[in-house]
Amino acid sequence: MRRVNKDEKSRISLTLNGRKMAAEAEPRMLLSDFLRHSLGATGTHVGCEHGVCGCCTVQIDGTAVRSCLTLAMQAEGRDVKTVESLAGPNGRLNTLQQAFQKHHALQCGFCTPGILMSFTDFLSRNPKPTEEELREVLSGHICRCTGYAGIMAALKEAVGIS
Amino acid sequence: MSKRLGTRVVRKEDPALLSGRGRYADDLPVPAGTLHAHVIRSPHPHADIVSIDATAALAMEGVWAVITGVDIKKISDPFLVALKSPIHQWSLAVDRVRFAGEPVALVVAENRYLAEDAAEAVAIEYTPREAAIDPVEACKKSSPLLHAEAKTNEISVRTFRYGDTKCAFETADKVIKLTVDFHRLSFTPMECFVAVASHNPADDSYDCMANFQGPFSTHPVMARALRVPGPKMRLRIPPDSGGSFGIKLSVFPYVVLTALAAKITGRTVKWVEDRAEHLLAASTGPNRVTEIEAAVTKDGKILGLRMDQLEDYGAFLRAPMPGPLYRMHGAITGGYDIANIDVTNRVVLTNKMPASLIRGFGGPQLYLALERMVQRIAIELGLEHLDVIRRNLVQPEKFPYRAAAGGLYDSGDYPRAVETAVGDGRLDYLKKRRDEAREAGRKYGIGFAVVVEPAMSNMGYLSTLLTPETREKAGPKNGATSMVTVNVDPLGAVSVTADVTVQGQGHETVLSQIVADRLGLQPGDIDVTLEMDTAKDQWSIAAGTYSCRFTPGTAVAAHMAAGQLADKLKRIAAKQLNVMAADVELADGKIRSISNPDNALPFGRVAGTSHWSPVMLPDGMVPALSETGVWNPPELEPPSSDDRINTSLTYGFVFDMCGIEIDPVTYQVKVDRYTSMHDAGKILNPLIADGQMRGAFAQGIACALYEEFVTNEEGAFLTGTFADYLVPTVSEVPPVEMLHIESPSPFTPLGAKGLAEGNCMSVPACIANAIADALGVKDVRLPATPRRIHALMASNGGVR
Amino acid sequence: MKPRPFDYARPDTIDEAVALLAERGDEARILAGGQSLMAMMNLRLADPSMLIDIARIAELGHIRDLGDTIEVGAAVTQNRLLAWPDLTAKLPLLAAALPFVGHFQTRNKGTVCGSIAHADPSSEIPLSLATLEGSVVLRSTGGERVVAAKDFQIDMMTTARRGDEMITAVRFPVHTGRGVAFREVARRHGDFAIIAIAAVIEGKDFAQIGIGGMAGKPLVQRIVMKELKSEIEALATGFEDYEDLHASAALRRDILRNLAPLVLAEAQACAA
């Protein structure tokens, strides 16, 4: 059994975007803060810290979750992926990212990393979703800039819905 | 070579933002040892602060300071306000709190978690006072007073008379009256406020970083509060911002607060607002009660209007308030040719969150009243709503058109815009849908809204708030200077800086299009850096991104700067090419003779001449390839002695039409079909323009149907999380058909107008009109929630 | 919005977990998915002195077909149950209700039992469990007990679970007939329901109806289909006023009057 007292910092290690990393943290450290401020992965954004907006969505063992509702301790030893993992090593955007650019699916870009991480998970399980299913998954995110039209257009193109 | 301006160039900003490589305020590095702040906020809407005991908090390991109003009053001054009224606001409450959520103390600790723990250990004793919540009640003598020295909560009243309104009302066939309430809401950017500050005691200077959006007229307000000259308050704005929509002006009190905390602790202090704080206390659009009366002929011609606008700014007047009450002033007659209008503008303070900048900025409030009135005129006269609109529109031959209150509408063809939108069977379809629905016993309504969309504010409009005599003494205020600098390096690489703040509008891309076209290059050749540094960048009081100033303002300055540079390069090249400068063009990455295109030099080679070989420059030419374009259009004049003011440089046009149905099971208003016609002059980048309009449309839907800051009668704030304050998701935003016609503005060299606010203004009015049509009711309050619709139906003949 | 400090424990077995509960009692909270608990902790509306993270306890990760019931372990996420191949055949009501639970992203982590433990009055899973007359399996160091759904949820966010107990599983009765329907009305897609209605057709003449969002806990009633209109009217008027920011009591009653016949009709159509 892993057990840590409240004011005790312990070393939390996990695999972030394929690299094993570790840092010290109290048990209450949120995964969103741990990724951003302890591990330096600032691509994951914090928008509401109560699980509604979806900006902080990352993948743990391939599953998209809210990192603001997850303790760093819960990700210990797990495989965590963030938006920084998506582009190729030369910075080449993947299909989904390219579709977002083409269809102007982002403006300020603050919500975008979470949306990309949600759909990277969802599309890996459902490569040929309906428009309705895309909409349902997207409804787990708030975007204030776009009105969602560009995002839907990008998603539809990425999955081959014309 | 084909021009890139006007084409769907994809955004230069996107690859970084899509890869997690954005540089937002909370991402930027801070010095080792930076302390983190947490704000303790008032739980009361109105109370006296009896005592603050921080002993237990200060005893906690890692807690550096608990700063109170008493502390900051010693080392700072209250914020300047636009109105000469004894209202004193510091960055922390002094002696008294005036809204639930008002900052009372600042805890500074080694990390945010600890700061929040320490905040719970601070004991604050309050004596609650009765709160003034309702704006109409707050104006009464019996109301509790917010600021005793002001002697009233109604701190500004001004009446304006244009034409002969009295005569219009006397000769009218009918006078129609309506009261319209506009609610409080915010567009809650996904990134909350961030402020970081350090203080250098050696010269008492501050170095601040914040996701501030401008206008930079607020910079002197901050510097004055800190008791330093402007250059000693360096403000840096990060390269990326997670949205603003007007809201991030209101980070400024926290810039001052963190700066003071840095001075007190001797450390860099960082504060990141959380969502609960943001919803409770960041900023809101003002609520407004409008009493509107129209004098009409029986065929629907509006002879005159009377408007009484009571706007509620909450607990304090925050610079540059009361902007929303005056920003639309010159265009207060909207898209209609109405010669006679009397307007009374009243500013009231209440025990609620201070109101401030928000996308639309006074437009949604104005048009809800005006457009609801036009629909009422149709109902009361037994006419078609659309016919009343047609009868009153400003006619195309009248442009440039001087509106009654002074707006100089630059261009447009309003009737053509309207007829195009209703044509192609669009209106017929809605009527068919309405007939079918009503036949089946369902509630279906059609709404219209007409909006004139101002862009690039005349910075002098706020002085209309003052009487002509006071203005005379203070000196004329006008203008709205835009500045952009274009540099060329020794190898011909082009870089651009501009006086805007980034919020996601794609300015980097559009500036690169403008500059590339002028220099004969590709947008990819142009590097645009838009992080701002008040110590090193060009800026004026008008700098920042707000009120659609980019397209008619900054974009023009970029066009000018690049043009100046192109002229210089032509003259340099002319000497080397052995031709006249008039025969030189910049195209395809070359500088060449127009008459003999083979006589050409690479762009970079000519650029290098200025850097390396000033000796080769034409006689008298100053070296250096750095040009700043400065744009200050002559049409933006100060208010006249009879209170007429051209409030903005360009005026676009929006006409909306929609069909809505009340869901018979849930009472939710469902948008069946929505069409929005825009005339924004020349479109600089259709891809980005479309994104701006669709974003504004979604915010219009949010305002009409979902979002509201709710404060109960006692002053308790009820919408403190995203579970209560309902931001629409993709499931709640209906499709919209966007249409365009183009009437280029004659007042800007690019012919382009603003377009990013129109739908924030039109959608609430259009949907309210459709609801009024569906239910046959007069009073429609927004947001039209199922709860409100159900109550309306219950009081209007039954719900089922 | 950062949680207060707490001790963290990640036991490997149920025995270790209940031993911690015996030690810390009410001050400790079970952390499974954390989709409600962590939000409340970030808002400092909940402050357990210890979180017992049970997500990795292998013996809680099962979806087990016990014949007349399906047992879902406390570590099973909502999306895992939704993806269970036998769901539509064995638990068609859950197949209809689960898509309404939060969003894809929260269902990825939120657990079935966590939703039962949280006992929000408008939640879909407690409503489904109550409508199906399922039960909750509780364990303490003193042993195991099984509590019927109707006895488990007492009121808004209040249950019969003792401080030293944890939910190890819930049991949903298998409903092989296809006559079920589930619908809800919320302000936005994925929000807590203003009102949620579950219906299960029982034979030709009866239906079991479950209503969430109208009171502190789900109301379940067997109704006679022939008397549908009057039965629903009686239900609508029978509720005490239950009001919040988004819905007045009158609105709730009218939505119930409008929606219940539709849900029952859908369930009937589905049965046919």
> Is residue A21 within 8 Å of residue A12, measured between CB atoms?
no
State how far Cα C182 lies from the chain centre: 13
User: What residues contact C249, with CB distance under 8 A and at least 6 apart?
Assistant: C239, C241, C242, C243
State how far Cα B167 lies from the chain centre: 37
Q: What's B638's DSSP letter?
A: P
- With CA atoms as reference, report the closest residue to C164 among C148, C146, C137, C141: C141
Q: What percent of chain B has pLDDT over 90?
A: 97
B798 pLDDT more than 90: no
> Is residue C31 within 8 Å of residue C51, measured between CB atoms?
yes
Average pLDDT over residues A102-107: 98
pLDDT tens track for A25-56: 999 999 999 999 999 999 999 999 999 999 99
Chain B residues in contact with A52 (beta carbon < 8 A): 721-723
B800 pLDDT more than 70: no
**Average pLDDT of chain C, as a whole number:** 96
Q: What percent of chain B has pLDDT over 70?
A: 100
pLDDT tens track for B364-374: 999 999 999 99
pLDDT tens track for B483-521: 999 999 999 999 999 999 999 999 999 999 999 999 999
pLDDT tens track for B109-148: 999 999 999 999 999 999 999 999 999 999 999 999 999 9
Q: What is the 3-state secondary structure (H, E, C) of B125-158?
A: EEEECCCCCCHHHHCCCCCCCCCHHHCCCEEEEE
pLDDT tens track for B727-748: 999 999 999 999 999 999 999 9
Euclidean distance between CA atoms C148 and C162, whole angstroms: 15
Mutate to test the interface with A, among C30, C98, C104 (most CBs of A within 10 A): C104
B665 touches chain C (CB under 8 A): yes
How far from A44 is each of B152, B275, B339, B423, B609, CA to CA, in Å? Answer: 48, 16, 55, 47, 46
Euclidean distance between CA atoms B133 and B168, whole angstroms: 36
Euclidean distance between CA atoms C60 and C55, whole angstroms: 8
**Average pLDDT of chain B, as a whole number:** 97
CA distance B707 to chain C (A): 11
Q: How confident is the model at residue A89 (pLDDT cuts 50, 70, 90)?
A: confident
User: Which pLDDT score, from 0 to 100, does residue B125 have?
Assistant: 98
A6 → closest Cβ in C2, C5, C38: C5
B1 pLDDT more than 70: no
Q: How confident is the model at residue B223 (pLDDT cuts 50, 70, 90)?
A: very high
CA distance C149 to chain A (A): 28
C177 pLDDT more than 80: no
- The single residue listed with the structure tokens 């029986």 is B298
B787 touches chain C (CB under 8 A): yes
Peptide bond into B201 cis (omega under 30): no
Average pLDDT over residues C182-208: 94
Structure tokens at C169: 């599983």
DSSP reduced 3-state for B229? coil
B70 touches chain A (CB under 8 A): no
Structure tokens at B588: 């395809």
Chain A residues in contact with B187 (beta carbon < 8 A): 144
pLDDT tens track for C127-137: 999 999 999 99
Average pLDDT over residues C131-144: 98
**ipTM over cut 0.95:** yes
pLDDT tens track for B562-583: 999 999 999 999 999 999 999 9
Q: Which domains occur in chain B, in start order?
A: 31-129+193-272 (3.90.1170.50), 287-460+638-794 (3.30.365.10), 481-631 (3.30.365.10)
Chain B residues in contact with A109 (beta carbon < 8 A): 13-14, 17-18, 22, 240, 242, 504
- For residue B624, the tally of other CB atoms under 10 A from its CB is 12
Mark yes or no for CB contact A28/C4 under 8 Å: yes
Nearest CA in chain A to C34: A69
Q: Which amino acid is at B515?
A: V
User: Which pLDDT score, from 0 to 100, does residue B178 have?
Assistant: 98
C178 pLDDT more than 80: no
C1 pLDDT more than 70: yes
User: Which pLDDT score, from 0 to 100, does residue C270 have?
Assistant: 87
Three-point CA angle B293, B297, B299, nearest 5°: 120
pLDDT tens track for B635-651: 999 999 999 999 999 99
Specify the CATH number of the domain C180-271. 3.30.390.50
Q: What percent of chain A has pLDDT over 90?
A: 98
Identical fold at C7-53 and C180-271? no
Interface size between A and C, measured as CB pairs under 8 A = 110
Q: Which amino acid is at C188?
A: R
Average pLDDT over residues B210-225: 97
CA distance B500 to chain A (A): 14
Neighbours of A, requiring at least 3 CB pairs below 8 Å, are B, C
Q: Which of residues 27-46 of C touch B (CB under 8 A)?
A: 43-44
Q: How confident is the model at residue A162 (pLDDT cuts 50, 70, 90)?
A: confident
Q: Which domains occur in chain A, in start order?
A: 10-84 (3.10.20.30), 95-159 (1.10.150.120)
CA distance A162 to chain C (A): 24
- Write down the architecture of domain C7-53 according to CATH: 2-Layer Sandwich (3.30)
DSSP of B78-144, one letter per residue? PPP-SS-S-----SS--SEE-STT-EEEEEEESSHHHHHHHHHT-EEEEEE-----SHHHHTSTTSP
B690 touches chain A (CB under 8 A): yes
- The single residue listed with the structure tokens 């007349």 is C68
CA distance B149 to chain C (A): 36
Euclidean distance between CA atoms B586 and B520, whole angstroms: 5
User: What residues contact C205, with CB distance under 8 A and at least 6 apart?
Assistant: C224, C225, C226
Euclidean distance between CA atoms C70 and C47, whole angstroms: 33
A147 → closest Cβ in B11, B113, B733: B733
CA distance A11 to chain B (A): 18
B711 touches chain C (CB under 8 A): no
Neighbours of C, requiring at least 3 CB pairs below 8 Å, are A, B
H-helix or E-strand spanning residue B610: helix B603-612
pLDDT tens track for B661-684: 999 999 999 999 999 999 999 999
Mark yes or no for CB contact B687/A104 under 8 Å: yes
Mark yes or no for CB contact A3/C7 under 8 Å: yes
Domain edges within chain C: 7-53, 58-173, 180-271
- Write down the architecture of domain C58-173 according to CATH: 2-Layer Sandwich (3.30)
Chain B residues in contact with A152 (beta carbon < 8 A): 730
